[in-house]
Amino acid sequence: MKIRSKHIAMSLFTGLLMMTSCEVTELDITNDPNFLTPDLAAPDFFITSIQEDFARQLDGDVSGDPNDNFVTGGFQFGDGLSPLGMELTRIMQMSSRDYESTYQDSDVDDEWDNAYRGILFDIRLMTPLAEEAGQTRHLGIAQFIEAYTISSLVDFFGDIPYTEAVQAPEIVNATLDSGASVYEAALALLDQAIINFTNTASATPPTELFYGNDYTKWVKAANTLKMKLYLQTRLVDPGAIDAFNAIVNSGDYITDTADDFDFVWPGTSAAQPDNRHPRYGLNYVSNGPGDYASNWLINKMQTTNDPRIRYYFYRQTNEVPGQEIPADEQTLRCSLQTPPLHYTTGGFTFCNLPNGYWGRDHGDDEGAPPDGPLRTTWGVYPAGGRFDDDSFSPVAQPTDPLSNGGGGAGVTPILNAFMVDFWRAEIELAQGNAALAQGFLEAGMTKQIAKARSFVSVDPNADLSFEPLATDVTDFINGVVSDFGAASGDDQWNILAESYFVAHYGNGIETYNFYRRTGFPNSLQPNRELDPGSFPRSMFYPNQAVTSNSNITQKANLAVQVFWDNNPAGPSFPNSN
């Protein structure tokens, strides 16, 4: 894997990216001197901005107060769609006991704004320029990004404005398109993108942030995104699995980690625009991490001897109140509390974990005590932080904070070879082919664990003697695969789902979609609150969209399901609290 080299050039575009920022209040910005316009800009400039805005749409931004979530009770502005999904699926910790107060209409304004006024607006400006210049590969990249962006908006919001969107001043109040029709539009965009990628006569962007202008890989990524969309619709479209398998039979999709579609963050620079992985930038700070790690995920990995735990998490201490040291109300209030009855009866871990893993439960909203220098935080994968080698030192080094671990030279995993193996396992299990599903589960775990372990190279000070042995990795994979083969029914789905969630650390879009698509795992740690309200099957429309567009009516609640989510609603949805 290339960890650093291919994105160093992004720092050269600081001025450009500031010019193309989506921080605007009006859709019609063609006369704003702070923004690129068709008569002043070239496709090369637009495509760079579009690519970075796309990465921010998925994984968020470093700007803002990393402790805002303890003030607002949940999701931070500008965090991106992926962290939102990770919170809901216990990959990240959610710090509120009530879903509707956590995920309010104003909490996703930035993501909506970035999608429409950033990504789609720039694509609409760039397209005629690229068409006129015959720059079809610029168009292909934009079409791919648009397809991923609009389908992800459907995944989180349901019906969205699309055919009439980004057309101010001609159309101000864009109507909603059905989620199904937006998916169809995304598939059509990908078909056209593939044609554009194969045009060898086209010029290429001077800065291409994903594949270094390797358009054979771009074609594989486009086909893989089509597979993702077909998988999403398998519950509502009888032909979706056949379409998925047709691409499998073609062989022209991502099968090797070397072809993974990732956004690689160069890291080390905190100057605007900050090019470090967003989770690194928000947690490797002078007062300690802003995020709490998820107790569910850590406990799952500890109790199964998962070899990835030292790559995923970095411990600042080896002592947790109520475990290695006495309970302490000041830093960990719950260490003096009695577990809720539904935690006790369900056998869920509560409050604290052994071996220095200082995290929090799902729905723990007890504010921010002075424990920043003690919390377990993001490790070397995927955030480009520190490899956990039992050094137990604070992540914030006052003398040189930017050389801490990998300096934020992390990765946003978007479409990976291991993901495809997990998708194929899901389809085979859904069709009753457990033996085939078992093989794909093993393949997916093997690829993803190797990918995570490779990131130890970005931490120059890591003590490699603490890396797990190759036999430990093999034993772990064989154990999970053996358990899957010996299980049946819901137990097999739980094993696949838990393995899926752990492997997708860093991509909450996939875990959130999987959970709604399958209803598994039913072993997730519940909210601290016994009745936290409806589990979000989709997000409220952003406040700015509802107040500014008369054609958007706010949803009654978070239980509204998107078009492909055909699972039962309400309490019958497994462990939906």
Kindly report, residue by residue over 207-256, the tens digit of the pLDDT.
Answer: 999 999 999 999 999 999 999 999 999 999 999 999 999 999 999 999 99
Per-residue confidence (pLDDT) for residue 70, from 0 to 100: 29
pLDDT at 3 over 50: no
pLDDT band at 25 (very low <50, low <70, confident <90, very high): very low
Residue scoring higher pLDDT (37 or 79): 79
37-65: buried (b, 16+ CB within 10 Å) or exposed (e) per residue? eeeebebbbbbbbbbbbbbbbbbbbbeee
> Considering just the CA atoms, what is the radius of gyration of the chain in Å?
23
Query: If you average pLDDT over residues 539-546, what whole number do you get?
Result: 95
pLDDT at 40: 55
Query: Is the pLDDT assigned to residue 388 strictly greater than 80?
Result: yes
Residue 15 has pLDDT above 70, yes or no: no
pLDDT at res. 413: 98
Chain-centroid distance of CA 60 in Å reads: 9
Q: What residues pair up with 293 in beta bridges, in sequence order? A: 92, 359
CB 539 within 8 A of CB 115: no
pLDDT class of 67 with cuts at 50, 70, 90: very low
For residues 380 and 399, the model is more confident at 380
pLDDT tens digits, one per residue of 358-378? 999 999 999 889 999 999 999
- Main-chain dihedrals φ then ψ at residue 453, nearest 5 degrees: -65, -30
pLDDT tens digit sequence for 88-124: 999 999 999 999 989 999 989 999 999 999 999 999 9
CA distance 441 to 481: 7
Cα 266 to chain centroid, rounded: 18
pTM of the shown model:
0.91
* Percentage of residues of the chain with pLDDT beyond 70: 88
Round to whole Å and give the CA distance between 177 and 405. 45
pLDDT tens, residue by residue, 168-197: 767 889 999 999 999 999 999 999 999 999
Least confident of 61-70, 256-265, 510-519: 61-70
Whether 28 shows a pLDDT value over 60: the answer reads no
Q: Is 6 a residue whose pLDDT tops 50?
A: no
Average pLDDT, the chain: 89
Residues 6+ apart with CB under 8 A from 439: none
Domains of the chain: 41-77+97-253 (1.25.40.390), 278-534 (no CATH)
pLDDT beyond 70 at 78: no
More reliable by pLDDT, 544 or 1: 544
Q: Is residue 8 very low, low, confident or very high in pLDDT (cuts 50, 70, 90)? A: very low
- Asked if pLDDT for residue 2 goes beyond 70, the answer is no
For residues 511 and 500, the answer to whether their CB atoms sit within 8 Å is yes
pLDDT the model gives residue 244: 98
Q: Does residue 522 carry a pLDDT above 70?
A: yes
The 10s digit of each residue's pLDDT in 324-361 is: 999 999 999 999 999 999 999 999 999 999 999 999 99
In the prediction, which pLDDT does 569 show? 78
State the average pLDDT over residues 404-427: 96
